[in-house]
Amino acid sequence: MRQSICSYQTVSGIEMLTARVCRHVLLAAGLLLCSSSLVLGQQPADPNAQNDALNVYKELITPDEAVNFRKTKSRDFDKVLRGGKISSAEEKKLIAEGAKYHVYLMTLKQDPNKPENETDLNKLRANILRDISFSGKISGNFQARELYLEELTKRAQDLLDNHRLVRFSAVVLLSQLDLRDEDRQKKTDRVAYTMAYVPLVKILNDKSQPTEVKIVAANGLARIGQTGNPTNQLRVKIAEEIIDELIQSVNEFSWYQRSLVNALGSLGISDNLARQPIVTDALLKVMNNAKRTWDVRSAAAENIGKLPLKANADIKLITYSIVDMTRKMIQAYNANPNAFFWKRCFWNVYLAFKPENPADNTGLTKMQVNQTVVNDAYKQVIKPISTVLQPNVAAKINAETINGMDDWLKKNLPKNFRVAPVQAKPQNQQVAEGR
């Protein structure tokens, strides 16, 4: 039945209201995910529960060595790093020694300068990031900064078999490294240090790493995808690694699965070098996998809305899959409408179509695809989304809405459920899509 202008206005009003409500809910969830104290409180995957290595500190520098560096070399190190220019082999060596010193301090259980105090890992990381930010700031020369980032990345990997707190701190550091800082006067954006991807990918592939460490690694890869400068070829390489881990993550903690999904959607590509839509396909498979939780499946839908889809994307299959997942989600929702996670899940479906901030270029309605198809699918999901996102209400979705979705799904059944046919790798080895 054709909706009246009045009914559309009602839905639009609910959209605006629910968007404001969920914005705060999801912001809080995001902050909790980034909080080291909360993440460390999560239950790791079962294989790690009996890993005794997670409880052992392996000191990679002695307190005496730490004190000696601070007394004899720290001032010269600071001078070279802040100046930004590397003028000799000695200065290059000093930067390497400084990186080793600052990273290895994290392996000491007690502060070498105040042995009565425990090592403050947060403070150590903050000091490193502060020094990076000041490096070359006045001179505009970033030689020392770039060498320091390289050495930090190398030394941080030495901590990945240490106590779980030390591992966690090392991975948080790797995930926060920046090649360049934001400069509002010059109107330049922050640039994440792309080469940190190497240890972050290794962490994903390491079955011995605890869940909280792998979550941070996945988030770090997402940050590199969003603000780093990897080539399209490197984006594809990272995507392939994430997809391999995502396939194996079905029984992992849902926050980890979501981190992998978000990382995949943050890489700015949909295809591999052979113009095969591997990212789109991987997210659709997550979305359609009944063994995964609704928050993971709906997050996959949201991240499909972040992909740089073009006119050649099978938008009919993509939109059908999102509507179909939403219909199944409605069935589960109606059986238990008071569950705390439903608002986030349905909000994720909304974000698959439209961005939270209208100025952002995410959501299927912003993509270079058939918008008639997109809008038709959007009309099927906006009613249940609006119902669920009402504040302080857990109303069930009515039969009329459900029957309308069922009819739509029958009429729009795809001819096949393959995103795209297998194609030969192009000779020029260029990524078909990406940014």
Residues in Cβ contact with 426 at an 8 Å cutoff, skipping those fewer than 6 apart: 273, 274, 275, 432
- Separation of first and last alpha carbons in the chain: 40
Paired strand residues for 92? none
Q: Which residues pair with 188 in a beta bridge?
A: 183
Q: Could you tell me the sign of the dihedral formed by the alpha carbons of 28, 34, 38, 41, in that order?
A: positive
Q: List the chain pLDDT tens, one digit each, 435 residues.
A: 333 323 333 334 434 433 333 333 333 333 333 433 333 333 334 445 568 889 999 999 999 999 999 999 999 999 999 999 999 999 999 999 999 999 999 999 999 999 999 999 999 999 999 999 999 999 999 999 999 999 999 999 999 999 999 999 999 999 999 999 999 988 899 999 999 999 999 999 999 999 999 999 999 999 999 999 999 999 999 999 999 999 999 999 999 999 999 999 999 999 999 999 999 999 999 999 999 999 999 999 999 999 999 998 999 999 999 999 999 999 999 999 999 999 999 999 999 999 999 999 999 999 999 999 999 999 999 999 999 999 988 899 999 999 999 999 999 999 876 665 444 443 433 333 333
Residue ranges covered by each domain of the chain: 1-34+274-421+428-435, 45-230
For residue 152, give every residue at least 6 positions away whose Cβ sits within 8 Å of its Cβ, in sequence order, or none. 99, 102, 103, 128, 173, 177
Task: Kindly report the pTM of this predicted structure.
Answer: 0.85
For the chain, the helix, strand and coil percentages under 3-state DSSP, each to the nearest 5: 60, 0, 35
